[in-house]
């Protein structure tokens, strides 16, 4: 394991309780630096309780002090005997019934924050369909009035590993294409603040 088990919750705690730079926190938690800034500005993960990485056995006070004194230093995760999660085998993604109603919220979040993701990528990541994605995008979904853009990782709809892999693939595809994308119509849903993550050249409005 080379990152904390709950990256965003750990980032919340580090932002609130240390003088570490956004870059240091982002690198340790494997988040985008803009995501950490958005956490500090309370634009995302509002109300999320932070997890103390010292109590969790993932950092020491001495390590935090070392990096606070040197903004160029990188936090090193403390070795732990906690077993690593078993990687899910490939195959169709099963989403518990209780969480299926959250899928449109997760779709809305990805459409807002990651225009580099294709519909097939979102479909695979969340275990949803292209029709549902289009319905959320053009606000023809039967529950559109109640859809709120929420982080699918916080909702338990996908893992951080799968999310990061999808984003990397999407960004690599854009770089290969020279950062150019086809103009996309503005989503009918007002997803709120402008995208802070995945704001690549040519991505347009989220």
Q: Is residue 54 assigned to a domain?
A: yes
89, part of any domain: no
Asked if 171 and 104 sit in the same domain, the reply is: yes
From 180, 185, 189, select the one nearest 205 (Cα to Cα): 185
Residues 114 and 170 in one domain: yes
Last residue of a domain, one of 69, 85, 110: 69
Q: What would the 3-class secondary structure string for 88-109 be?
A: CCCCCCCCCHHHHCCHHHHHHH
37 in a domain, yes or no?
yes
Residue 186 pLDDT exceeds 90: no
Residue 202 lies in a domain: no
Residue 43 CA to residue 66 CA, distance in Å, equals 29
Pair (49, 109) in one structural domain: no
Residue 27 has pLDDT above 50, yes or no: yes
Q: In this structure, are 65 and 102 located in the same domain?
A: no
Q: Kindly report, residue by residue over 28-39, the tens digit of the pLDDT.
A: 998 899 989 888
Is residue 130 over pLDDT 70?
yes
Mean pLDDT of the chain: 78
Q: Is the pLDDT of residue 200 over 90?
A: no
Q: State how far Cα 86 lies from the chain centre.
A: 21
- Using CA of residue 118, residue 108, residue 48, residue 34, what is the dihedral sign? positive
**Looking at the 3D structure of the chain, how many domains does it have?**
2
Do 118 and 166 sit in the same domain of this protein?
yes
Whole-angstrom distance, CA of residue 202 vs CA of residue 171: 12
Looking at the fold, whether 60 and 101 belong to one and the same domain comes out as: no
Judgement on whether residues 106 and 161 belong to the same structural domain of the protein: yes
Pair 101, 172 in one domain: yes
pLDDT digits (tens, 9 = 90+) for 40-99: 887 777 777 888 999 888 899 999 999 999 999 999 988 765 554 444 444 444 445 445
Asked if the structure places residue 118 within a domain, the reply is yes
In a domain, 115, yes or no: yes
**Encoded tokens for 53:** 């990485």
pLDDT of 113 > 50? The answer is yes
Q: Which domain holds residue 51?
A: 7-69
What is the percentage of the chain residues whose pLDDT exceeds 70?
Answer: 75
- Residue 112 confidence (pLDDT): 93
Does residue 43 belong to any structural domain of this protein?
Answer: yes
Q: What is the pLDDT of residues 155-181, one digit of tens each?
A: 888 888 888 888 889 888 888 877 554
pLDDT score at 2? 65
Render the burial of 150-167: b for 16+ CB within 10 Å, e for the rest. Answer: bbbbbbebbebebbbebb
Q: Are residues 121 and 56 in the same domain?
A: no
Residue 77 counted as domain residue: no
Contact 39, 29 (CB under 8 A): no
Select the more confidently predicted residue: 12 or 92. 12
Mean pLDDT, residues 124-143: 90
CA dist 126 and 106 (Å) reads 8
Residue 160 has a pLDDT of 84
Pair 28, 75: CB distance under 8 Å: yes
Q: Are residues 51 and 114 in the same domain?
A: no
Q: What is the pTM of this model?
A: 0.45
Pair of tokens at residue 112: 């807002």
């Amino acid at each position: 394991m080379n990152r904390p088990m709950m990256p965003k919750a750990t980032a919340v705690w580090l932002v609130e309780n240390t003088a570490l730079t956004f870059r240091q926190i982002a690198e340790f938690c494997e988040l985008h630096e803009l995501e950490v800034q958005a956490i500090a500005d309370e634009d995302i993960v509002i109300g999320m309780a932070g997890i103390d990485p010292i109590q969790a056995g993932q950092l020491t006070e001495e390590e935090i002090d070392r990096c606070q004194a040197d903004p160029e230093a990188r936090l090193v995760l403390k070795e732990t005997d906690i077993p690593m999660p078993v990687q899910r085998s490939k195959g169709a993604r099963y989403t518990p019934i209780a969480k299926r109603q959250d899928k449109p919220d997760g779709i809305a979040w990805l459409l807002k924050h990651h225009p580099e993701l294709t519909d097939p990528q979102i479909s695979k990541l969340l275990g949803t369909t292209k029709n549902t994605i289009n319905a959320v995008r053009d606000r023809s979904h039967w529950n559109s009035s109640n859809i709120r853009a929420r982080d699918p990782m916080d909702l338990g709809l996908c893992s951080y590993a799968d999310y990061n892999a999808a984003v990397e693939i999407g960004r690599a595809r854009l770089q290969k294409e020279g950062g150019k994308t086809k103009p996309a119509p503005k989503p009918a849903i007002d997803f709120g603040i402008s995208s802070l993550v995945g704001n690549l050249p040519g991505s347009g409005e989220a």
